[in-house]
Structures are given as structure tokens and as C-alpha cells.
Amino acid sequence: MSDQRPASDRRPATDRRPATDPGALAGPAVLHRRSAARTAVVWDALRGVLEELDHDRPASVVDIGGGTGGFAVRVAELGHRVVVVDPSPDALAILGRRAEESGVAELVTARQGDLASLPGLLADLPSVDVVLCHGVLEIVEDPTSALATLAGVLRPGGTLSLLVNQRHAAVVTRAMAGHFTQARSLLDASAVTAGPNRRFTAAEVAEVLDRTGFDTRSTHAVRVFVDLVPSSLVDLEPGAAQALVELERAVADRPEYLTLATQVHTLATRR
């Protein structure tokens, strides 16, 4: 299940943007605004999970495929210990610098590896409270086996934060771009057997989680609008970026918007 993608592609899906996106040439403030609209829903849900944990000790969090630490550093800033597992030494080096700059280096540990090597990499951890698996399930050879591995490292009652690309939105996006054959192939694909770069429906996520020892707690629509709104509007119109964040939050828990979302985020509890 080794991840063979280039380091630049192994960042969490919420951090990716097409090379033609005008935001790619913009300053840090613009990039932050667009990133906030992409990650707000997932971060709100994850922060809620962390707030529910025992406050007498830091939580033990594992971020599989966490790359440069977009979520891991924020988790550490709340006082929790995070182990980031990623196959890219370059990404882990960036993670180390980010953790240093944020003053949380003592709370963030980088370990090079992937899902196949995960049990051995975490053998020294007596208990894992939360596992983040964002943008990884789409590229592994066997999603069922991958989730079973994650269940094996979580303590009973621990939480999995799972973020996957959603198929229905990809069908619509490709059809709107005139790629009708691609849209049709995605429409008929099976998430569990479609191979690399697969996409899931919310129902498929719930089914595979149930088979691998998880109970679904909540499901969130992620990036319903942000990928459709022109960058110029978000970046230049005063107040537009924050309004977009609030709109994404407003529809995240509404099931009718799941089929429009670029991604589906699920919180699940290990039985």
C-alpha cells in the first residue's frame, strides 16, 4: 500500500489546487483565505472531537499521510501529541520546520512510512486516541484492508477522522468540462475496486467503515461551493472569503448537499 505519488501530490487533498489557479501566484494572505474555506468544516469537526477527550492528559493523535502538517501542527497547538506518518522525507522535513516555527516541535513526531508499515511504526504508543486519514484512502490498493489497519492501531472508543474524494461531484465537474466519457466511467465505478484515485459515495464510506469495525458518528459535506466559486471573487471581494467559509459550515451537516461536495468527511468510532 505504499504511496508512490510525488511529494507535491501527497499533501492533504484540502491543500491541493490546480497549477492554473490564480491563487497559486497570490500572496500568503490570499492562500490562507482559500485554504480556510477548504478546511474549516473538517477542522471544526476534529476540534470538537479533541475537546471531548480527557483534559488531564494530551491526546495521542496519528496523522497518516499527514505530509507537511497542515492539520498536525494545528492539533499540536491545542496541546496534543501528534505522530505524522508519511512516505516523503521532503514533506516530513517541511513538517519539522513548521512545527519549530509554531513552537510545538516537542509535540510533533515525524516517522517515514505508509499504511503497510503503520503497526510497526506505532509499536511504542500504548494507546492512540485519534487517527487522521485525509486524502489517503483513494490511493491505497485495498481500502478495506487499510481501514482494518487503522482500526488496529486505535484504542477501543477511539476516533477516526476520514476524508475522501466524493464521486458524484467528480461526475458533475467532468461533465461540465465536456469530459463526458470520464464522467460516465466515474458514474459506474465501484469505489472499493476502482484502483488508484478512486472516489467514494457517502454510503460506500459508511459501508466499508462498518465492515472494518467502526461506527459512523457523523458525516460532513466538504467543499460544496469553494471549488465552484471564481478565485477572483473570493480573493478580491471584501468579506467574500469569510462569507464562503460560513456558507460551507452551514451546509456541512445537511445530507442533501453530500452529493454536491468535492469531499466527504466522516467521524467514526472504533468498536
Checking phi first, is residue 141 left (phi over 0); if not, alpha (psi -120 to 50) or beta? alpha
Q: Please report, for the domain that includes residue 72, its CATH number.
A: 3.40.50.150
- Residue 171 belongs to a domain: no
Q: What is the pLDDT of residues 233-244, one digit of tens each?
A: 888 888 999 999
Taking the alpha carbons at both ends of the chain, their separation in whole angstroms is: 24
- Number of domains into which the chain is organized: 1
Residue 192: which pLDDT band, with cuts at 50, 70 and 90? very low
- Is residue 11 situated within a structural domain? no
Amino acid identity of residue 102, one-letter, is S
Per-residue pLDDT band at 36 (split at 50, 70, 90): confident
Give pLDDT tens digits for 100-137: 999 999 999 999 999 999 999 999 998 899 999 999 99
Domain-embedded: residue 194:
no
Report how far apart, in Å, the C-alpha atoms of 146 and of each of 31, 110, 139, 191, 254 are.
Answer: 32, 20, 10, 14, 28
Residue 172: inside a domain: no
CB 92 within 8 Å of CB 83 = no
